[in-house]
Structure 1
Amino acid sequence: MKCTPAVALALLAPAANALLRFPCAQLLIDRRDPLVNPGQSPSPHLHQILGGNAFNTTMDPSVADISKAATCTSCQFSEDTSNYWTAVLYFKAKNGTYKRVPQIPNSGFDGVNGGMTVYYMQDGLYNFQQTSKVTAFQPGFRMYIGDVNARTREQAERFRQLTYTCLDNINTRDPQTLDFPTVPCKAGIMTALRFPTCWDGKNLDSPDHMAHMAYPESGTFESGGPCPATHPVRMSQLFYEVIWDTTQFNNKADWPEDGSQPFVWSFGDGTGYANHGDYIFGWQGDALQRALDAPCYINCPTLKSQDVAAMNKCTVEREVKEDIDSWSTTLPGGHVANYVKR
């Protein structure tokens, strides 16, 4: 997918566009993962979590509607108490020590505390009218995308559109790669995660948190490709954009002596192929379906919005008491950079 300068600007212009795109501030950074490691604290690696403050270590599946337990959300739309999370990015210096890379808000979302940008799309990123009808996720719905053990391009290609962009400026969107950029990026690194869009119509979750969802059987979501018969219900495409402020690490004299790129995920992946994301639906009532049926952009008359101060104020206390910000010889949980095929 190519993004011309005109398209990049259109993404940021609120005029008549109908793309549901909004910021979520950081709820917490912690070693908890109630989807893959429910009840385990600390979980194996560090995550950045966003959304509703009902987030907890277990996220008991029997409590289907988490929106009823949340009292605030770190997202722009106060009716969205879903939880969104990804791994955390680290820099590996020449001396082998690690430092956490901070997140910064996307263009147009100044003041938001890190976090990321969330999209729900009916017709793909570059169709601004968004006229197709799609089904909203339901209370209890959960999904995951990616493979934490992937270390090769072939393993990463199983998942469509988990990419990196080396930002020349905050609005850069291409080229996109499956692995980490190998040169210093002027404005940071953006990770993009697009989730599958075809639902089996029955299961709100599955053992691997993926099997109940599928990609179109031909073409792509953007091209209107049909859903397979096994997963006939066309859902909106959930899409995350995370901007990592790698600019403070752009001095190549600090990079590993062997010339390798210096960035690594919090669980040790130094290839970038193990990029992944998690989602638990938590919109209140029919708010998401209303928004998808009457598309809007940033300021949605069908949804209740809150200001940046309210978004930043919604936080959850960290459960795992460890230093995640100082230089360290290992990543949280004792991980080290790993480039080995698994």
Structure 2
Amino acid sequence: MAAPHLILIALLTLLASGGAFATLTDRASAGRTAHPAPSPSAPEPTPAATGTPHHTPGEPPTSADFADIRTAPRAAPRPRNRRGASTGTFTSRCGRNTEGHRNPDNFIVAPGVANGAHHVHDYVGNLSTDAFSTDDSLRAADTTCTNGDKSTYFWPVLRDITATDDGADPDLNTGRVLTPARVTLTFRGNPTAKVTAMPEGLRAITGDARAFTNGGANARAQWTCTGFGDRVLTDRYPVCPGTSQVVRVLDFPSCWDGTGTDSANHRAHLVFPDRATGACPAGTKPVPQLRIRLAYDAPDAPGFALDSFPEQLHKPVTDHADFAAFLPPGLMERAVRCVNSGRHCG
């Protein structure tokens, strides 16, 4: 066995050489970027780990946001008409916004706030509509509608996102704005009762511009294609075959509380009828129900998208529309008579 003092000398020699090796390693590392050692704490959870997908505000739709209209669910049937139903229609003809009346305002939900909508709206009807519109300014303005209808009808634009931008947009909406090929504004009846006239200045909204993050409770828009109106999508854009056009269908609430022209949340004063029966809730009465139908010559999917708030990611479920009623009293009376008598006027 080696003497104890010899073992001690060997150990000291090893320690000295280890120190020299460490010194050489430090010198070799000089001039390189230092990287801190990993933190002993757990890393931040990734989107996949939490189940929450990662999204960049304003990012375009993906292929998952589109579906072949031929595989879409059948549209829910309209409630059966009962005794006393109002079965007629009245159509207001207001063009398709070839005038290019557009802005990112919404005087109903953000009055007096320029760019209060944070997405561009298409307008037909009243030619003066912007963030600062009032009842008086709307009454005094010109209109694109026939018969003197000064109502304002508006919705977020649809864009060709494969085309050159129509100018810088602070809210990350990009692409060329598509003018609708056809705009149809139809006031319909109620399957259980006669309708009553809307008051002048009645405000109405349908859908939810924040439905992607809010959930779909107030989502109402339907997407379809010409020739496929019996099939609809709500949370997907349609892939339309051949020369079929992309279609948006926006139905408005039509059960009025009989007092206000607006409410704090812009919904309580005018609500939807029961989905199954079409009857209005107690304490409300039916007014003519506005349906806006928009048809587009859109590029092939996924080359088009709605304008939206950046965090809503252009999702189709966020489609919505707004309306303020300024039909002259005589025209409103005519519309009510047509709807209640079962005629189709316009």
Post-superposition Cα deviations, 1:106-125, rounded to whole Å, max 9, x if no partner, equal 3xxxxxxxxx210101147x
Which residue does 2:262 correspond to in 1? 205
Paired AA for residue 188 in structure 1: Q
Q: In the alignment, is the contact (CA less than 8 A) between 1:192 and 1:239 conserved in 2?
A: yes
Note the C-alpha offset of 1:182: 5.2
Q: How many residues align?
A: 247
Q: Pick from 171, 180, 183: which aligns with 2:239? A: 183
User: Deviation digits for residues 39-71 of structure 1, max 9, x if unmatched?
Assistant: 22233221001102342431225x3x833x12x
Rounded to whole Å, the distance in 1 between the matches of 2:304 and 2:125 is 30
* 2:89 counterpart of 1:19: yes
Quote the residue 2:119 is aligned against.
45
Q: C-alpha offsets along residues 296-341 of structure 1, whole Å, 9 cap, x if unaligned?
A: 435x4xxxxxxxxxxxxxxxxxxxxxxxxxxxxxxxxxxxxxxxxx
In structure 1, runs of 5+ residues without a counterpart are: 5-16, 107-115, 125-130, 256-260, 301-342
Question: TM-score if structure 1 supplies the norm length?
Answer: 0.63
Q: Distance in 1 between matches of 2:163 and 2:132?
A: 38
Aligned to 2:332: 288
Q: Which amino acid aligns with 1:23?
A: R
Give the match for residue 109 of structure 2: 36
Checking the alignment, whether the CA contact within 8 Å between 2:92 and 2:149 is kept in structure 1 is no
- 1:1-342 map, 5 Å: 18-25=88-95, 26=97, 28-43=101-116, 44-60=118-134, 63=136, 66-67=138-139, 69-70=140-141, 72-75=142-145, 77-93=146-162, 98-106=174-182, 116-123=183-190, 133-151=194-212, 155-159=215-219, 161-165=220-224, 167=225, 170-181=226-237, 183-185=239-241, 186-216=243-273, 218-220=274-276, 223=277, 225-230=278-283, 232-246=284-298, 249-250=299-300, 255=302, 262-268=304-310, 269-295=313-339, 296-298=343-345, 300=346
- Runs of 4+ deviating beyond 6 Å: 94-97
* Contact 1:66–1:139 (8 Å) recurs in 2: no
> Cα RMSD between the aligned structures?
3.1
Greater share of helix residues, 1 or 2? 2
Q: CA deviation at 1:78?
A: 2.3
Aligned residue in 2 for 1:313: none
SS of the equivalent of 1:290 reads helix
Larger radius of gyration between Structure 1 and Structure 2: 2
Q: Which residue of 2 aligns with 1:327?
A: none
Percentage identity across aligned positions?
24
- Cα distance per residue 1:60-101 (max 9 Å; x no partner): 25x3x833x12x3212x3221100000011233499994234
**1:203/1:271 Cα in 2 relative to 1: closer, same or farther (>3 Å)?**
same
CA distance in 1, matches of 2:174, 2:112: 28
**Native 8 Å contact 2:210 2:309 kept in 1:** no
Counterpart of 1:158 in structure 2: which amino acid? N
